[in-house]
Structure 1
């Protein structure tokens, strides 16, 4: 696929762990980093990566170091058995290590065992840092990492990333290792190329142009021998994003004489929908914050977010689990029997979508259901009307995650939705990866 073929102006390189359905991998590639290696455990996610131009490494064989234009290798299997020291042995420098270690140990929607959970893969990120010594690291995870109950362990994660070569030994608890890290923070015998400057940001993907409310933690690290990298300036520049809810409200309210730009962009929205949306907004527009409006679910479906074509409408007769090849779009398949009830409310078209999730027993909370513009008479409703609803299609969900329409997702619907729910929104990852590339370029040009 084109997303994995883009060549950077400067040959910067990347390694991607926990690649999943390819969100962060695509983001890093779009930011100008050439992929040298992917690793993923889940079978269907591996099939997705192969369908989008990665090449599977035969079992028992060593991955190759790809040349520019060559397919990047995918090692399918347990990251704990992956040895990446061959890069340094062959004189290959890796610019960025990217990955989102499985989030279930820390997720608000899961059991939340944290570091005791065997799915905690942060130690494998630290092992990879030791083996390849990348110039920079981007790590994405759930906001649950910042919960008070996990705070000591999260602070330990940051310290371990700062001193990844102070390795934790077997039979040593993380708290014992943390004490050693604290003691060695000022140890000048540890060379700068074995240290990292680490910061984290709590972000909402909607603030970076993603049509979805998705709160995550982004951890960024730069190798300490890159003395010209100003990591605090980097964090300050990335902290807020270029989009805001206030700007969305202003775009809907207009100026009193002219209809808001948002409705001009969507001229076919029924008046009863506009009135319903405007009724919940403040009478006075928020002050201009100089930002762009949050993107909405309607924007995503209409193709506004990626300057693409609008997805065809899924009418009642198409809710039949059948691929009708509507407009040439794949995975735009209607699914029947969507329900809404207390605690399971649908997405609204004129808001960013809810967080796309990857529930083990299905998607909870209505995250995969959307309310439509169409309404029917309902005597039980206060105003006598009820808005219709349906499940979102896989393609609509992919747009909410800012995946391009030509990105192939493998497996049945449930597996495709799981890959999307586990992914990093492409646009969010791209914004941060481009900022890392800019910081590296600036630091190296001034060195």
Structure 2
């Protein structure tokens, strides 16, 4: 099935889509360093991106008419700074809001389905009106905004159409906030996903169930000790149940045998096998270079090794720092290297990043975790395949 990837960034969602079996007809991204990341990996024949048609262009000027009409899925993460906690909070007034271009792609390509991802901040009450505007536009992409309409007037017209419409919406659209840690990503990263299916496709779909759980991690650490065994950590650590978990761990002792999900993956899991670049400089691991200067202070602390990491962030005014460093076993803090950050975002180790440390960390901070993208994409692909096998009524 052919797909189109918009606002591709470092390629997390696009790689996940490809891993799920989609073939990219176009990968659109305006940032030069991100496009160079794609090109350099293609020159090295990295399996993840080989053969991708990369277009270094602003999505607002991309001609979707050149791609034909057999696009199965459009996917992408419209720039999220307008809605992020660290951004300017301007939403529809921010010129980095690319949701209108996502809607245009759906309108012009009429794919069987689409997958769009954004920051959890989009679901805040502050943006509730604009959130509903996005939802309605995705349901009825053919009802475009008129020249004399502002977005609120357009939303009102869409609401009237929706409430009076006797037939189906053009697209059946679902949305939900997913935590990447619940799907095997070693990072607590909550993102909102919009997934829509064209009504005439007849697809039946729901968001995939979590595969990993915090309870299973607590059991592996504080009840059966298998987590510490995996990392060859002394038995003494197993007795030090943090006070905030003590009561819950006691409850888990009575039902630990009933847990069926895998445990959350941790920062230590992600960094396993990588040398400490502060002390080992003669390794040949790409993008694994020590960056000095990390320090902790109130409200600016690093990720804990034995939990999923904090959410990696790009930062509007550069890399924030607190979310992009971790606390070592000796209590000191160190910045994640680009390779370590790529592990936290579940990029394959063969995938290398172009640009300075701050630029590559920005690419990674904006990315969709590859593993989460693949889980969602596989579920969409399965529903489309099943729908295509159903006899027409």
Report the TM-score, using the length of structure 2 for normalisation. 0.92
Establish whether residue 219 from structure 1 lines up as the match of residue 194 from structure 2. Answer: yes
Deviations 1:363-390 (A, max 9, x none): 326111111113xxxxxxxxxxxx2221
Establish whether residue 281 from structure 1 lines up as the match of residue 245 from structure 2. Answer: yes
Distance 2:165 2:302 in 1: 55
Deviations 1:191-211 (A, max 9, x none): x7x810001011111011100
State how 1:19-418 maps to structure 2 within 5 Å.
Answer: 19-53=8-42, 71-88=51-68, 92-185=69-162, 195-227=170-202, 229-231=203-205, 234-235=206-207, 238=208, 240-255=209-224, 260-267=225-232, 269-270=233-234, 273-276=237-240, 281-282=245-246, 283-286=249-252, 287=255, 288-302=258-272, 310-315=273-278, 317-318=279-280, 324=281, 326=283, 328-364=284-320, 366-374=322-330, 387-418=331-362
Q: Which has the larger radius of gyration?
A: 1
Query: Greater relative contact order (Cα 8 A, min sep 6): structure 1 or 2?
Result: 2
Contact 1:243 1:293 (C-alpha < 8 Å) held by counterparts: yes
Task: Quote how far apart the aligned CAs of 1:360 are.
Answer: 3.2
Indicate the residue corresponding to 1:6 in structure 2. Answer: none
Indicate the residue corresponding to 1:433 in structure 2. Answer: 377
**5+ residue gaps, structure 2:** 44-48
Q: Across the two proteins, how many residue pairs are aligned to each other?
A: 381
Task: Quote how far apart the aligned CAs of 1:181 are.
Answer: 1.0
Deviations 1:120-158 (A, max 9, x none): 100001111111111110000001111111001101100
Secondary structure in 2 aligned to 1:137? strand
Deviations 1:63-82 (A, max 9, x none): xxxxxx98232221211111
Distance 1:270 1:107 in 2: 40
Worse-matched range after superposition: 283-292 or 400-409: 283-292
**5+ residue gaps, structure 1:** 1-11, 55-68, 303-309, 319-323, 375-386
Distance 1:415 1:285 in 2: 45
Task: Tell me: CA distance 1:107–1:446, structure 2 relative to 1, closer, same or farther (3 Å).
Answer: same
Deviations 1:302-358 (A, max 9, x none): 1xxxxxxx112334x45xxxxx452x3111111112100101111111000000000
Indicate the residue corresponding to 2:368 in structure 1. Answer: 424
Indicate the residue corresponding to 2:46 in structure 1. Answer: none
Distance 2:241 2:354 in 1: 37
Distance 2:190 2:81 in 1: 15
Task: Tell me: CA distance 1:188–1:153, structure 2 relative to 1, closer, same or farther (3 Å).
Answer: closer
Contact 1:358 1:418 (C-alpha < 8 Å) held by counterparts: yes
Distance 1:429 1:154 in 2: 22
Worse-matched range after superposition: 388-397 or 217-226: 388-397
Question: What is the RMSD computed on CA atoms of the aligned residues?
Answer: 2.2
Structure with bigger helix share is 2
Contact 1:253 1:278 (C-alpha < 8 Å) held by counterparts: no
Task: Tell me: CA distance 1:136–1:325, structure 2 relative to 1, closer, same or farther (3 Å).
Answer: farther
